[in-house]
Amino acid sequence: MNQSLFNKYKSFSSKDFAADDDFVRYVCHPTEAESLFWETFCYIFPEKSRDVREAKLLIQALQPDHSEMFPAEVESLWNDLSTKQNEIFSSRQVENKVQPALVKKAFLMTTVVLLSCLSGALLSHLLKSEEIFEYKTGFEQVATLFLPDSSKVILNANSSIKMWTSGWLKKKREMTLTGEANFNIKKLSSSGRYHKLLVHTNSGTIEVTGTIFNVFSRGSKTKVYLKEGGIKLNHLPDLPVILMHPGDYIQYDVLDKTISKNKVAPEKIDSWTLNKVVFDKTPFSDVLSHLKQIHGLDAVLENKSLLDKSFTGILPADDLDLLLKALEEAFDISMSIKDNTLLITLK
């Protein structure tokens, strides 16, 4: 082994590794000798293992053409990163718990007189009794929930849902969503049909007839991706009812009154449920929106020309430090955080 190279690399940071031509070549096209060298290096300098791992992810994030990478190596890195998830959350003092609040309204009949006087109005009141369930996540929190009907919901960071059921046998289900959620709706009837679920967003209502789908609803923008089943979009301003089919991805903005419909790969939409964030020629302004919505960071830019640029990369969703390093490398900028504000300057 080349001792001089060991001495060269022992003081490197993750950014230094990512900028080193030999290291980049090793990550993209590793040979047996190079793999042995870096395994030995990490054994001799275990304190540098984290920097080496971050540099690998950084290089691969900025070179998302997987045809140039070894899939087994990529998958190994992601698996290794997943085992560190709890450690990363703990270091940031993020309490990865959902905060449910349950309010129940019940009606009691205590006397024979009331029973004898039971009228149609009282019966209607009984049938409309509600159960209300609320769930909320904070910044950098992702939670998996099971609704009262056993439907599964993965709630993204800084998001909330409020669900209520009513009517005879609680067949009527409605909820409001702020933020982003991935739904897997449960069948309720013995016939195999789905009871109706309405999801109200800031832009309109999604009528669900049994499906797997993803909804993003922040500000004036709503994005709906249908993976399985069928849904209808109702009450969109100045638009007719829209029927969606598996693979459809619809984006609309109530302020601009714009709407688009595309076919997209599922991994570009629900990657966050697998602890990945995918940027695909994403405008820098949208990257800043992501930092605010998921990590709670406002941004101050020294040079507004950055807003005209775009970013491509695949990164762990819960590693803010690595994302900032990737952005620094991609745009040759410096980023620092002060009082929940991201300061961005040119180098």
CA distance 344 to 131: 47
**Token pair 């509600």 is at which residue?**
130
- Residue partners of 48: CB distance under 8 A and separation at least 6: 9, 10, 12, 41, 42
CA end-to-end span of the chain, whole Å? 36
Position 105 scores a pLDDT of: 37
* Eight-state DSSP code of residue 31: -
What's the token pair of residue 118? Answer: 């039971």
- Of 5-14, 36-45, 234-243, 320-329, the range with the lowest mean pLDDT is 234-243
Give CA–CA dist 264/283, Å, rounded: 18
pLDDT classification of 338: cutoffs 50, 70, 90: very high
Q: What is the pLDDT of residues 244-281, one digit of tens each?
A: 889 999 998 888 878 888 888 888 898 999 999 999 99
Tell which residue, 187, 238, 249, has the closest CA to residue 213.
Answer: 249
Q: Which domains does the chain have, with CATH numbers?
A: 3-83 (no CATH), 109-269 (2.60.120.1440), 275-346 (3.55.50.30)
Q: Is residue 157 classed as helix, strand or coil in its secondary structure?
A: coil
pTM for the model stands at 0.67
**pLDDT value, residue 94:** 37
For 14-44, give one letter per residue: b (16+ CB within 10 A) or e. Answer: beebbebeebbebbeebeeeeeebbeebbee
The tens digit of pLDDT for each residue in 79-120 reads 544 444 444 333 333 333 344 433 333 333 333 333 334 444
Amino acid making up residue 123: L
**pLDDT confidence of 326, banded at 50, 70, 90?**
very high
Identify the CA nearest to 143 among candidates 186, 102, 98, 177.
98
The pLDDT tens digits for 59-72 are 877 665 443 444 44
Integer Cα distance of 26 and 10 in angstroms: 17
Using the predicted structure, report yes or no on whether residue 50 has a pLDDT greater than 90. Answer: no
pLDDT recorded at residue 20: 84
Q: Flag whether pLDDT at 144 surpasses 60.
A: yes
Answer for the pair 222, 181: CB distance below 8 angstroms, yes or no.
Answer: no
User: Which pLDDT does position 67 carry in this prediction?
Assistant: 37
The two structure tokens encoding residue 58: 């950084």
pLDDT score of 262: 87
Give CA–CA dist 145/148, Å, rounded: 10
CA distance 63 to 38: 21
Other CB atoms within 10 A of residue 58 CB:
25
Average pLDDT of the chain to the nearest whole number: 77
Q: Is the pLDDT of residue 178 over 80?
A: yes
Strand partners, 315: 277
